[in-house]
Amino acid sequence: MNNFIVMQGHTYQEEKELGIIWSPQQDKGGKTPHYWRRMTEVKEGDRVFHYVKRNIVAISIASEGCKTASKPSIMQSHNRWRNEGYLVNLKYHELETPVNVRDNFNKILPLLPIKYSPFQQDTDGNQGYLYPCNEELAIKLVELISELNIYQINDEQLELSIDDVRRTENNTLIPVIAETESEAKTKIRLGQQKFRKDLIPLWEGKCALCGINLSELLRASHSKPWKDSTNVERLDPYNGVLLCCNHDALYDKGLITFDGQGRLHISSVIRDEDYLMYGLERTSKIQIRPGNKVYFKWHKKNIFKTI
């Protein structure tokens, strides 16, 4: 299962009425932007979060994969689009209480990918149509949706009114949210397990920097994070390095990095006099394989804190 965020705006009501999302195949110049081409990636069972005017207003499930289809007659007023397009049939579950992205942006921002993010740094939605939604972001969105739309029993509550019971039992959003969250967490867990299993032998079962070999203290650190990686990159053992808890935290936060030769770089955020405390040596160099280089360079460029 994959997740997506669709930026609908004025087309939301029309598409919801038809139970679809639709995009053109090409722009007037004959090109296909990534946010239209991504329609072809939608498969049966995939989840789509619907964004309208700074709010997540619905979540839907694809009832089948993407297919080519002409512009629906109800959308003929949108003259700037060509008639040939991509269409996905969906079952919409509209939220009683939308999730305002701006109000929750501090929770959403850390989970946004560097490339193809659905949202801008000012909290507005990016122009375009269909964007990827990584599993970590999907989990956060369903948590926010649950807080606002699913009745939860308060520990101090002793009785429920019959209306509260009926509302909970008849809320079709509950199984959608539960299944979406469960599948996303399972995908992450299984992926992380495989990644760690394949990564450990590449580093001889010990921290690349300090040599600690106690498995309970070792972490399989992604160089290109889950949120920024493709499905292939997430499981590629060369997209990572085996580090102890201490050095893993430093690497994850961009306080240390490695270049294409395996040389350690330490952020200026860490004072020289504190290197020993963190178990760091400026001249450290680790043995890397050719497959590591592209990922280490990505980490150094995008994650490493230079100031």
pLDDT at site 53: 93
Q: Are residues 145 and 253 in the same domain?
A: no
Q: Is-contact 299 257, C-beta < 8 A?
A: yes
Total structural domains within the chain:
2
Q: Which of 149, 183, 213 is the last residue of a domain?
A: 149
If one counts every other C-beta atom within 10 angstroms of the C-beta of residue 185, the result is 14
Per-residue pLDDT tens over the stretch 61-85? 999 999 999 998 888 666 677 789 9
Q: Pick from 20, 76, 78, 17: which is nearest to 48 by CA?
A: 20
Pull the structure tokens for residue 108.
């959403």
Does residue 106 sit within a domain? yes
Per-residue pLDDT tens over the stretch 95-109? 999 999 999 999 999
- Predicted TM-score (pTM) of this structure: 0.87
Q: Are residues 141 and 227 in the same domain?
A: no
Contacts with 22 (C-beta within 8 Å, 6 or more apart), sequence order: 15, 69, 71, 72, 75, 85, 86, 87, 88
Summary count for the chain: helices (H), strands (E): 9, 11
Does residue 168 sit within a domain? no
Q: Are residues 117 and 252 in the same domain?
A: no
Q: Are residues 214 and 140 in the same domain?
A: no
Q: Which of 110, 134, 149 is the last residue of a domain?
A: 149
Q: Which of 149, 181, 196 is the last residue of a domain?
A: 149
Q: Are residues 39 and 144 in the same domain?
A: yes
Give the domain range for residue 265: 204-302
Q: Are residues 25 and 143 in the same domain?
A: yes
